[in-house]
Structure 1
Amino acid sequence: MQSVDGVLEGAVETLPFEFAVLDASGTIVYTNLQWREFARENDLVGDPSTLGENYLDVCDAAADAGDEDAREIAAGLRDLLAGDEESFSFEYPCHSPTQRRWFLMYAATYAVGGERYVQVSHLDVTDRKESELAVERRNERLRTVASVLSHDLRNPLTVAQGYLDALSNRVDGAEMEHIRTALTRMNDIISDALILARESEPEALEVVTLRDAAERAWEHVETRGAALEVTGSVAFEADRSLLGNLFENLFRNAVEHGSTSSRDAPDERGATRGQNAAAPADTVEYEVDVTVRVGPLDDAPGFFVEDDGPGVPEDVRESVFESGFTTRSEGGSTGLGLTIVSAVAERHGWTVDLTESADGGARFEVRGVTLVDG
């Protein structure tokens, strides 16, 4: 039967990362197979095991040549050997002529028979580092897009709206209203895109109440006669601005999809708008009798927003949070509203699901909210 020491040595020898042991002076007294293979693959001069070499001397020589990472590693190891620290970790680049690489060095001190030793391991973290850099590049592109939307596009849009207002005093007609509608829609698209381009984390968390947040958001939505009912309230932490975006987009969704075109609805004389010569044929007005309800969930920490409108077919519920998805044919929606809802929930660590309300309308349930007293 193998001894415990033999089993442990075999396990350390086959670790999938470079591993070494230093004595109290910093001299290398053990290296594993991966350490030796790395030395061979990178054309290290001398014995690939590096046994008997002083690791601190190697780091100091590299530091004298201008390698600041080596200087920091040497300082961390000296703190371990002096007993000032018990562990030390440091991430550093180690690029070859043909490959970009990053490693995480971890070192910890331990004692055997009164003698102090330090175990040193180097873990290849290139895949994780490349992913982080890709995210940073993507975020930088988003910041660039946000800057373009905020200034390069919004400024000329504001100028165009100003000239349109001035021109409206001299020219009247449906064409002017079409231009105004198009400019307003462009502004809405920019606003929605800016929300999506924000950094992933909420900027400032504060305690909010469900009732207050919902009622404030309702004031910023064109409700067209729709009604809001808040059935209860809870307190929780959220980014107030982002939470307002979530509620506003859910409310707009309910109003837009719960509305009926007055062109298709009979008036008090029994005629539809299309038959009424007194109304312009290209004017579409909306009558809304939808009721939107907001309240806490009964079975989990969170809240719901539901309506008594026509609801969302089950076969498309998974698609509604995708960018650009809309069932409106009039072009009034940017198609980003529910994408924003999903993004805001995700940034808070919440989840949002679409189901059906008791009245057959749409019901959005936000879960994972951490409730607080108050």
Structure 2
Amino acid sequence: MSGSTDISVLYVNDGPELLQLVARRLEREDDRIGVRTAESVDAAEGVRSRHDVDCIMSDHHMPGRTGLEYLRSLRGNDDGIPFILFTETGDEAVASEAISADVTDYVIHRAIGDPSPLLARKVCSAVEHRRTKRRMDRTARQLRSVAEATNDALWIFSADWGELHFINSAYESVFGQPAAELRAEPRSFLDRVHHEDTDRVERAMARASSGEHVRIEYRVNKSTELQSWVESRCTPVTDDEGETDFISGFSREITDRKYYEASLVEKNEQLEQFASRVAHDLRNPLNVADGNVDLAREDDDGPYLETTARALARMDDLIDDLLTLAKRGATIDELSPIGFESLVRSSTENLLFPDSTLEIVGSGTIRCDPARTREALENLFRNALDHGGEAVTITVGVLEVRNGFYVEDDGPGIDPSDRETVFERGHTISEHGSGLGLAIVDRIVTAHGWEIEIAEGADGGARFEIVGPDLDPTEAADPKPAESGT
């Protein structure tokens, strides 16, 4: 037997001459096959104890144990090795018993002719089938181990939710129902859904059946005393005709997250009330001071009064930034599509560009909270104006490689050592800055689920890249300078 063969066959026959003839012919027929031989069942078992064997080919009538008895002993020990009964005796009773004993194939050895082509095909087919089954079983075990390693309930339903194809054991901890009950009645999980949420869940199921990706949060009654929140995500899988074949997804408990969100909303409301009160209390004396400075400057507009006026104006800006950060720093409203160029231009309405230029490169539609995104862009523009000088050029464009957009200026840029800290509250290198503008930008970006990165612009200025927006770009347009004063 060659050591380079891929398929090892054990041929059992009590006729030495026939044994060697069939073995040589089989190896010659297919160079993937290597044959080991044995003249009895006992000898065959000895060969298997010393060597790996992929397939057994055996005669039936042999001294001692027959080929059929050998097959039965193997199957009795749960040995599923491919077994081909290759015998000179065409006995229907033997063939019937061999089939009952789970023989892989039954071939009659004719007196005339070379059976090697037929045998080689049957051997290779049987071995490959077994190897494929083993690979599939191994993959299934691996997938099962992964499914059991998570706390999420993983599942696969038929397109109409009438059949359950797969469920892992985490289902019971999420829904408070044994997985066996779900297998018996696939839609029984609806019995655990809070009655006020059932209709909404069923509508979501219908949307998934029609091919829509669905994410839904709802309440589950684990018991008469315990209620929890669950999030489910459904992914419809279609067939070649585009019809939904089955629905896969997962369900996870999010009770802690819902409590945290509710607590966060309450804290934000308290913070907003506090910030509004503080802003009101601060603005009253600030307005008095500002008014008296204006009156004093009518008599003597000296440098000290000018410095005082600038300080009061800075305090007013600081109060505005603090109020914005407290009220809406980390929240966004409903997302909606808006044209990229329209969004950028509307973000300049509260700014003056007397000697500066705004260029827009590219176009498309972005899905966002328009008001909050305008606020972020406005703060980025204000940052460029504060640090780049009156004649700064600001370029806003669609990223070519990644999904997102950028804001770039030709000012002095941001030192690499400062890029990790510029989004921290209070960080500023401008004598007029509050240190909150970029912190607000960072919160708005994060609230959208996006990321913001700092790089060096083409002219050495600052470049802010906002990555992750749901931006559908169209063909890039030529740079368009904003009108003066926009």
- TM-score of the superposition, structure 1-length normalised? 0.56
Residue 310, structure 1, aligned to residue 412, structure 2: yes
2:453 pairs with 1:353: yes
**The one of 317, 328, 339 aligned to 1:188:** 317
Report the counterpart of residue 290 of structure 1 in structure 2. Answer: 392
CA distance in structure 2 between the aligned counterparts of 1:303 and 1:352, rounded to whole angstroms: 10
Q: 1:218 aligns with which of 348, 365, 385?
A: 348
What CA distance in whole angstroms lies between the structure 1 residues aligned with 2:364 and 2:267? 36
**Structure 1: distance between partners of 2:437 and 2:285:** 24
Q: Distance in 2 between matches of 1:363 and 1:159?
A: 41
Cα distance, 1:91–1:205 mapped onto 2, change above 3 Å: same
Identity %: 37
CA gap of 1:203–1:130, structure 2 versus 1, over 3 A, is closer
Q: Which runs of 5+ in 2 are unaligned?
A: 1-167, 179-191, 199-217, 231-251, 475-486
Q: Find the counterpart in structure 1 of residue 373 from structure 2.
A: 243
Q: Which residue of structure 1 lines up, in the alignment, with residue 294 of structure 2? A: 165
Q: Which residue does 1:340 correspond to in 2?
A: 440
Amino acid of the structure 2 residue aligned with 1:104: S
- Deviation digits for residues 211-252 of structure 1 (CA, Å, limit 9, x no counterpart): 233333334234463322222322223333322221221112
Instruction: Structure 1 unaligned segments of length 5 or more: list them.
Output: 1-10, 22-72, 80-86, 95-101, 107-122, 260-287
Q: Provide the secondary structure at the position in 2 that maps to 1:326.
A: coil
Question: What is the TM-score when the length of structure 2 is the normalising length?
Answer: 0.45
SS at 1:172 equivalent: coil
After superposition, the Cα gap between the structure-2 partners of 1:105 and 1:239, relative to the gap in structure 1 and judged at 3 Å, is: closer
Q: Which residue of 2 aligns with 1:367?
A: 467
Describe the superposition over 1:35-70 as per-residue Cα deviations: whole angstroms up to 9, x where unpaired.
Answer: xxxxxxxxxxxxxxxxxxxxxxxxxxxxxxxxxxxx
Q: Displacement of 1:153 after TM fit? A: 2.6
Mark the CA change 1:92 to 1:157 in structure 2 (over 3 Å): closer, same or farther.
Answer: farther
**Cα deviation 1:99-146 (Å, max 9, x = unaligned):** xxx75399xxxxxxxxxxxxxxxx998855663454244313322233
The alpha-carbon distance between structure 1 residues 17 and 172, as it changes in their structure 2 partners (threshold 3 A), is closer
Q: Give the structure 1 partner of residue 326 of structure 2.
A: 197
Deviation at 1:173, TM superposition (A): 0.8
CA separation of 1:92 and 1:358: change in aligned 2, threshold 3 A: farther
**Partner residue, 2:86:** none
Aligned to 1:89: 220
Change in 2 beyond 3 A, CA 1:105/1:216: closer
How far, CA to CA, are the matches of 2:174 and 2:407 in structure 1? 51
**Any idea what SS the aligned residue of 2:305 has?**
helix
Match of 2:239 in 1: none
- 1:177 to 1:209, Cα distance in 2 relative to 1, 3 A: farther
User: Aligned runs of 1:264-279 on 2, under 5 Å?
Assistant: none
Verify the 8 A CA contact 1:103 1:124 in the aligned structure 2.
no
Shift of 1:159: 3.8
**What is the CA–CA distance in structure 1 between the aligned matches of 2:457 and 2:310, rounded to whole Å?**
33
Q: Deviations over 1:286-326 (max 9, x none)?
A: xx332111111111332111012221122221211111112
> CA offsets per residue over residues 149-172 of structure 1, 9 Å max, x none?
443333443343333333332231
Partner of 1:144: 273
Match of 1:104 among 228, 231, 237: 228
Partners of 1:93 and 1:129 lie apart in 2 by 20
Aligned length: 257
* Distance apart, 1:181 and its partner CA: 1.0
Q: Secondary structure at the match of 2:299?
A: coil
Structure 1 88/240 Cα, relative in aligned 2: closer, same or farther at 3 Å?
Answer: closer
Deviation at 1:341, TM superposition (A): 1.0
Aligned to 1:298, the other structure's residue is in SS state coil
| Paired residues of 1:92 and 1:104 also in contact (CA < 8 A) | no
Deviations 1:160-189, CA, capped at 9 Å, x for gaps? 333333333223111221221112111111
Aligned equivalents of 2:343 and 2:175: distance in 1?
A: 54
Q: Which residues of 2 match residues 40-59 of structure 1 at below 5 A?
A: none
Cα distance in structure 1, aligned partners of 2:285 and 2:222: 46
Tell me how far apart the structure 2 counterparts of residues 173 and 124 of structure 1 sit (CA, whole Å): 66
Task: Name the SS of the counterpart of 1:142 in structure 2.
Answer: helix
SS at match of 2:346: helix
Quote the Cα distance in structure 2 between the aligned partners of 1:207 and 1:124: 31
Aligned-pair RMSD on alpha carbons?
4.2
Provide the rounded CA distance (Å) in 1 between the counterparts of 2:404 and 2:397. Answer: 9
One-letter amino acid of the structure 1 residue matched with residue 369 of structure 2: D
**1:122-137, aligned counterparts within 5 Å?**
128=257, 131-132=260-261, 134-137=263-266
CA distance in 1, matches of 2:302, 2:335: 47
Larger radius of gyration: 2
